[in-house]
Structure 1
Amino acid sequence: MSTHEKASTLSLVGDPAAPAPEKLERPRYAVYENHRTIEGRTYKPGTWYHGLKQSGPDEKAIPVDHWICAPLNVEAETANSEDGTIGRLLSFSHRGRRIEWVMPMEALAGKGDEVLKVLMGRGLVIEHHQRRQIVPYLASHQAPELVIATTTKPGWHESGAFVLPSRVIGGENVRFQDSGRAANIFTDKGSISGWQTEIATRCLGNPVLILSVCCALAGPLLAKVGVNGGGVHLVGDSSSGKSLAQLLAASVWGNPGSFAASWDVSKGGVEIEAASRNDTVLILDEIKRADPKRVQEMAYAIANGMGKGTMTREREGRAKLTWRVLALSSGERSLSDHAAIGGSGAHAGAELRMVDVNAGTRTHRAFDDVHGLTGQDFHRVVNDAVAQHYGHVGPAFVESLIQKPEDLHSAFRQVREAFGTESSQAGRVADRFAIMALAGESAIRRNLLNWPKGTAIKACRLLFNEWLLTTGDGNAEDRQILRGLADFIALHGDSRFSDVRAEHANLTVRERAGFYEVDDDKRLYLFNTPALLEAASGFGKERILRALLGASAIVKVDEEAKGSRRTKKYRTPGGGSSRFYVIDPERLENEG
């Protein structure tokens, strides 16, 4: 075996506490945390290569010693909890601060340039001419006995710990693993007391701001209680204050300027943003930046918590991105209104997954109480405060949940009683508002929010009831069908319908949708089947009929058609007869 081969297969890390050996065994790598004197020579702290150099086959090998870099320790072997891949936990110091990085072993394949980039980017001091020695040092290092778990996404880990890129709450043998190049969005500044005084206090009397804080804190409770993800969409005119509410929510976990995400990404980009904020909150800025043709699909993805499957070059399925998160979106238009710009019909399911909250027509636009200031001054003061104090409350809330656990299921059931609904669909939205209320009240009990008890429940219930009053407690698909038929009549009442009792056929009608008849000074519209399907696009005939029957909107049916057809036979102008669905447009208005 050549000297180079030995150097790449032997590795020994020096223990600063152990006595120096009388003689160096070569070749080998060694790490000295302090100055070490061996065989009469003193070696400065660092990672060293002690080798042998031979000029020719008959020449005697002479010892060589190369300082490679600052002390670089291999602390443990790592095993990724998602895919089982193996790595190493590396540590070193930079300006008195201990730095850790989980290096996947596959990163050592090839020249290992990516490993050098990460280590140098994080502050490891390296001797440039010896930089190529780092890869064989790490590759040849014997696997440590200690094995720890790693995860590539933040949030709750199967061990019970809560993992963030820069810290692990409630666990020792688990670490966050990334490429080393991703930005850490979970940063902090200022103090939690400063956040409470300058920010939380000014939320009082402002339901939209209280809801935003509760939304940010609810992420860690989703998995504990079993509530699905989704979001709330703050709707209001430009400069109404809804963006400030989002910055305030972002300050719970990190720097508002970098923690907030954007609608201006692809569906895959939204999946990455959601996964990188797992078990916290996803802040999405102005919805007008989203692709109108994809925005509803993106809302579904955020709520469903699972990304699109992809394949490797070997045609094997890659692991899908997963997440549990509540989203806090904003925009001048609702989700369905923005989708309509791209020609997409409103999907009731998307509207339920990203429900509208009024943040534009309150007492002071998005605010109800500006605490004795003008709206402009209030906005400026809070905006300045969130730039000075952030990143403390969210981690402190998780730490308190771990240190002082409570029966969250029981607490959720108690809070949920305040959000009464009749339909199952409205009930799922109520679950979302209730989990936000629970997060706020739990943070109040833990003295993390300096609000009076009941503040969070009152604000969340107020905004939920406003949504319920606007949308209704019925089935969302029923509302969408009835609204579609009502809009169709409003658009085409005279251009595609004519009087069924006329003596002659009306030749000016193109693409006939049916007829109308006047009954007790009220028009009833006789829809043919193609028009019925066109008006409620995206739904099958049976589903449309179920909605119409639920609203008692089909008002005339032949006795023999009461079973499945629900139609009435009419003689049509010009001769002949056909069956139609006879719809009372007034019944369509009762969408709630």
Structure 2
Amino acid sequence: MTATAQTNPVNELLAELTTQAQGVTLATYQDFLHTVALLVVDGTIDPIQRESVIKALTGNGHELGGKRLITNALTAAEKQIKRDMETPQGGIKGGRGLYSLRDNGVWYSKPTKDGYSEPVFISPHLKVIAETYDTADGNNGRFIEFKDTRGRLKTWAMPAIFAAGDGTEIAKYLRNAGLNYVYGFDKEVIDYLLSSEVTDLMTCSDRTGWVNDVFVTPKITYGENAESYTYQPTSAIDNKIGQAGKLADWQANVARYAQGNPLMMVNTSQAFAGTLLKKAGMMGFGLHDWSSSTDGKSTTLKIACSVWGSEFWQQWLSTSVGIEGSAYAHNDLFLALDEIGEATAQTVSATAYALANGEGKRRGGRDGNAKITKKWRVVFLSTGEKSLDTLMKEAGMVTRAGQEVRMINVRSDAWKHGAFNDLHGMENGSVFAEMLEANTKRYYGTAGDAWLYAITQPGGIPDDISQSVDAIRETMLPEGASGQVRRVARQFALIAYAGELATKHGITGWKEGDATAAAKECFDLWVDDFGGADGKREHRQVLEAVESFLFASISRFHDLRVSDNSIYAVKDRVGFVRSGVDGGHEYLVPATELTKLAEGYSREQIITALRMAGMLNEPGKDGKSAIVLPRAVGKQMKGFIITPK
């Protein structure tokens, strides 16, 4: 009886708290959390009872957030109460005076001959919670909380570098974020922040992505002990992660329409894949959806972007430096670039390598020393009306095979309705696209949130991810696939794996195997457009360049078939032409002129391609490809005899 009598008050209190939790709104959320936190800290309610209150808050219908967000907020409130209990009574001594944090904000006393003046109010609630540091022992700072003009509690990971000089960057940020401190006390506010003693430590990162087993984003960190990690950029960020609607809304109004549409499904799966690069041990890569018509490729990009946020894409119209900054802000995530035609070929060429290789250009600082090079891992999606190869050719540049396996061209008009295969009952592709784009403006970001929560749980990403990706690749590879084709196949396999894992975690609403089938279809399309699986793509490009030059530049060859060649003054001569054995032409090209026939390719690449095609003379007695040309060309010189097929 005695034991029952002792536990009844606690049970009654718990019943009252769970009842109150049902009516908590955003306006009363913080106050209720504070009440519960006090009861947890003083031991009135135990961990099991605490979970009951969290469960009641999670399902009260006022969209306070998911269970993990409420749990993190309550944990933070409990830590705050414990810190308040440890705050020294004498206040905080700074370089400009004495500061004290009270219920209504920060008060300041300036030094006088006799000690300190009477305290004056200088700021609403503002407190340093922890010291921040990154894993490279740099980018230190302070994690602070404050209340804005509407009484909302906000946090900011303040880089210590912002305090350099007069600290203007700190004052600007706080004002912009809504901290309405008293005019004229900028220096005192900064002094207070820098003088506050803290014992708690938080790991910070100035880029998104994996830090140990925690995933950091601008707004939320995911994983075990996530509250000990924070995002702390040292400059303005270009990352539009955000949420609207519920996951079920996104599944019903966006994701389900990817079924039956391979390109849409691949692009959406691709949006999940960036977070898996590190775990799979892979470098970054991208797909470039292209066609010369308006076929829905931009719509598929927007659908993929809806995994993470609203208008999560940006235009290609930027410098390579600007895109590098975007890649850094999307590390371990997904980067979308629309309309490649707005960028210069030079920007695209440099960007294709940089985005995939994960490293920016090395640059010097004002002192002459090299700046720290930005690094990232990212999966990117590009769209445009021209393929990478076409864009480069128009600018007189050569597309390297290395670029084409990093930025993979996928024709977006290969299906029944351009980029779409199944319109799900809509009358035409335009109506279908308009409906999808409208839906992506209403429902977005919840899939990315659910995905990060799922993959940061124990076992969320299986340990055998690399082997599983390889297994998917083997099902895709055609016979006799070259190294380049195998590399692209593994990238499509990672996309397939990401889509299947998101499906397994209940995020996409697709059927098992759908993502893999879509990836295989798009990969097969790429292989056909690439010119086959044999790896001779670059050889074919060399031959095309040589044949185009010979056809367009016949006037630059001295014609040995004319009896009196002396009357011809050949401008910019690159060689000679004569009749061949079978009535065709043979071109005699001095060794020094060979690379002019295929600008951008090396002598060795040209020789190899011509020999494989049977268009080059046999090696000389010395085993070298260049032979002594016939006397008819004049002075003795070494070169090559090319016979077009």
TM-score of the superposed pair, with normalisation by structure 1: 0.85
Give structure 2 stretches of 5+ with no counterpart: 1-79
The residue that corresponds to 2:497 in the other structure is 438
1:453 aligns with 2:508: no
Conserved 8 A contact 1:77-1:86 = yes
Confirm whether residue 311 of structure 1 aligns to residue 311 of structure 2.
no
Match of 1:48 among 107, 110, 126: 107
Asked if the contact 1:306–1:322 (Cα under 8 Å) also holds between the matched residues in 2, the reply is yes
- 1:6 aligned partner: none
Partner of 2:75: none
Percent identical pairs in the alignment equals 31
1:285 and 1:436 mapped to 2: Cα distance?
20
8 Å CA contact retained: 2:574, 2:589: no
**In the alignment, which of 538, 542, 557 is matched to residue 618 of structure 2?**
557
Which of 301, 304, 326 aligns to 2:379? It is 326
- 1:488–1:155 Cα change, 3 Å: same
Show the 5 A alignment for 1:178-577: 178-179=233-234, 181-182=236-237, 184-255=239-310, 257=311, 259-373=312-426, 374-403=428-457, 404-406=460-462, 407-420=464-477, 422-472=481-531, 473=533, 474-492=535-553, 494-497=554-557, 500=560, 503-505=563-565, 507=568, 509-510=570-571, 511-554=573-616, 556-557=617-618, 560=621, 563-565=623-625, 567=627, 569-572=629-632
Aligned-residue offset at 1:450: 1.4
Distance 1:110 1:377, change over 3 A: same
Q: 1-side partners of 2:141 and 2:315: how far apart?
A: 33
Matched to 1:261, the amino acid is: Q
Report the RMSD for the aligned CA atoms in angstroms. Answer: 2.9
Q: 1:150 is matched by which residue type in structure 2? A: C
Per-residue deviation, residues 517-568 of structure 1 (Å, max 9, x unmatched)? 33335544444334421112223323321222233332x437626x112547
Instruction: Tell which deviates more after alignment, 76-85 or 460-469.
Output: 76-85
The 1:117–1:560 alpha-carbon spacing in structure 2 relative to 1, beyond 3 Å, is same
Distance 1:99 1:22, change over 3 A: closer
Once residues 136 and 25 of structure 1 are traced to their aligned partners in structure 2, the CA distance between those partners, rounded to angstroms, is 10
Aligned mate of 1:119, from 156, 159, 174 = 174
Amino acid at match of 1:529: A
Contact persistence 2:237–2:329 (CA under 8 A):
no
CA deviation string 1:471-519 (max 9, x = no partner): 2331443233222112212323x43447655544383754243214333
1:75 Cα shift? 0.7
Cα deviation for residue 109 of structure 1 reads 3.3
Cα pair 1:53 1:61 within 8 Å, conserved: yes
SS in 2 for 1:426: helix
Once the two structures are TM-superposed, the CA of residue 414 in structure 1 deviates from its matched residue by 1.2
Instruction: Find the residue that maps to 1:364 and give its secondary structure.
Output: coil
How far apart are 1:235 and its partner, in Å? 0.8
Q: Secondary structure at the match of 2:621?
A: helix
- Aligned equivalents of 2:359, 2:83: Cα separation in 1: 48
Q: Is the partner of 1:418 in helix, strand or coil?
A: helix
* Pair 1:454–1:127, CA change in 2 (3 A): same
Task: Tell me by how many angstroms 1:23 deviates.
Answer: 9.0
Q: Does 1:136 align with 2:196?
A: no
Within 2, Cα distance between the matches of 1:141 and 1:501?
91
Q: Deviations over 1:395-436 (max 9, x none)?
A: 322221221231211211111112315211222222221111
Cα distance change of structure 1 residues 286 and 565 upon mapping to structure 2, 3 Å threshold: same
CA separation of 1:438/1:497 partners in 2, compared to 1, >3 Å: closer, same or farther?
same
Letter in 2 for 1:47: V
1:147-158 matches, cutoff 5 A: 147-157=201-211
Residues 526, 369 of structure 1: CA spacing in aligned structure 2 closer, same or farther, 3 A cutoff?
A: farther
Q: Distance in 1 between matches of 2:137 and 2:631?
A: 69
Structure 1, gaps ≥5 residues long = 1-12, 35-44, 55-59, 587-592
Are the equivalent residues in 1 in contact too, given 2:106–2:124 (CA < 8 A)? Answer: yes
Describe the SS at the equivalent of 1:172.
Answer: helix
Q: For 1:469 and 1:25, locate their aligned partners in 2 and report how far apart those are by CA, in whole Å.
A: 70
Larger mean Cα displacement after TM superposition, 18-27 or 318-327: 18-27
- Say how many residue pairs are matched: 550
> How big is the shift at 1:274?
0.8
CA shift, 1:87, in A, is 1.2
Structure 1's 498 and 88: CA in aligned 2 closer, same or farther, altered over 3 A?
same
State how far apart, in whole Å, the 2-side matches of 1:490 and 1:401 are.
Answer: 57
Change (3 A) 1:111 1:484: same
Deviation at 1:191, TM superposition (A): 1.6
2:100: which partner in 1?
A: 30
TM-score normalised to structure 2 length: 0.79
**8 A Cα contact 1:557 1:568, kept in partner:** no
**In 2, Cα distance between equivalents of 1:212 and 1:14:** 46
| Cα distance in 2 for residues equivalent to 1:517 and 1:83 | 72
Higher helix share: 2
Asked whether the 8 Å contact 1:497–1:515 carries over to 2, the reply is yes
Give the conservation status (yes or no) of the 8 Å contact 1:101–1:180: no
**Residue 64 of structure 1 aligns to a residue in which SS?**
coil
